[in-house]
Amino acid sequence: MKRRRRRLVLHSALDPRTKKFWFAFLSVLFLLSSPGLPSERSQRDRILAVVQRMEAVFRSLADYTCDVNQIYYRNGEEDQIYRFKFFLKKEKKIRVDFSQPHPGMTMIYKEGEDKATIIPLRSSPKIRFRFPVDSYLIKTPTGQRIDQTDIGYLLGFLSKNLQRVRQEEAQIQEDDEKVSFFIRALDYIEEKTLEKYRISVNKKIWLPNQIERYRLDGIPIEVTHILNYSVNSRLEDKIFNP
């Protein structure tokens, strides 16, 4: 009983300024030990709201086409450029018509299949080959598979990483035409290495028009520009069965 009284006396003897100091100190400790600082959570929640709006738009689409320009980097220096027209029809039928570096070549993939069809020359569609989707022969220079190339895959990737990865550096900017945000995420291909991503979204259609991928030290890995969207144009099945 005596020890308990002694503690109460010491506590009551603290002057108001000391009490304020300890209150502030403990508050900071609580914030630092929480899952994310308020500013971090605020930025993440704003970005997540944008991704959810994009997901709602994507769910409403039956199909889309777009032109894609991709720049791949080696040791931070521009290395290879890919250009192609991309077609997607739900449920996940994909066609890619290359113009660079394989002019005239087409790649076709249908969800659920473990192989993709390669037509070396669109002018001779009967000449075709089948390759496993994980074959290095048909992956991008950074190892991306054909079934990882559509917007649906991108949105799932963003949503998952916003909820699982700490977002200390998360940023979001918005103007009348676009929303751009910057996050950390496990790599797009195998989800093993932490990287940085900057996504730019066209506010007229709420679909991405630029995707930038960086190492944690800021060295670029790849940059993708997406142009000339056409949505719900009623793509015919024969496009994916040439």
Q: pLDDT tens digits for 71-93?
A: 999 999 999 999 999 999 998 99
In sequence order, what DSSP letters do the residues of 25-52 get, joined into one string?
HHHHHHHHHSSS-HHHHHHHHHHHHHHH
Q: pLDDT tens digits for 165-224?
A: 999 889 999 999 999 999 999 998 888 999 999 999 999 999 999 999 999 999 999 999
What pLDDT does residue 33 have?
Answer: 41
Q: Which superfamily, per CATH, for 38-240?
A: Lipoprotein localisation LolA/LolB/LppX (2.50.20.10)
Tell me how far apart the alpha carbons of residues 202 and 199 are, in angstroms, rounded to a whole number: 10
- DSSP-assigned letter for residue 92: T
Tokens coding 22: 């300890």
Cβ neighbour number for residue 151 with a 10 Å cutoff: 21
Distances, alpha carbon 1 to alpha carbons 5, 8, 10, 79, in Å: 6, 11, 15, 77
Q: Which residues contact 140 (CB under 8 A, 6 or more apart)?
A: 70, 72, 82, 222
Question: Which range among 14-18, 127-131, 173-177, 212-216 shows the weakest confidence by mean pLDDT?
Answer: 14-18
What pLDDT does residue 38 have?
Answer: 52
Banded model confidence at residue 6, pLDDT cuts 50, 70, 90: very low
Tell me how far apart the alpha carbons of residues 242 and 239 are, in angstroms, rounded to a whole number: 6
Query: Taking residues 58-79, what's their average pLDDT?
Result: 97
What pLDDT does residue 10 have?
Answer: 36
What pLDDT does residue 15 have?
Answer: 60
Which pTM value belongs to this model? Answer: 0.81
| Domain map (residue ranges) of the chain | 38-240
Banded model confidence at residue 35, pLDDT cuts 50, 70, 90: very low
**Nearest CA to 224 among 197, 192, 193?**
197
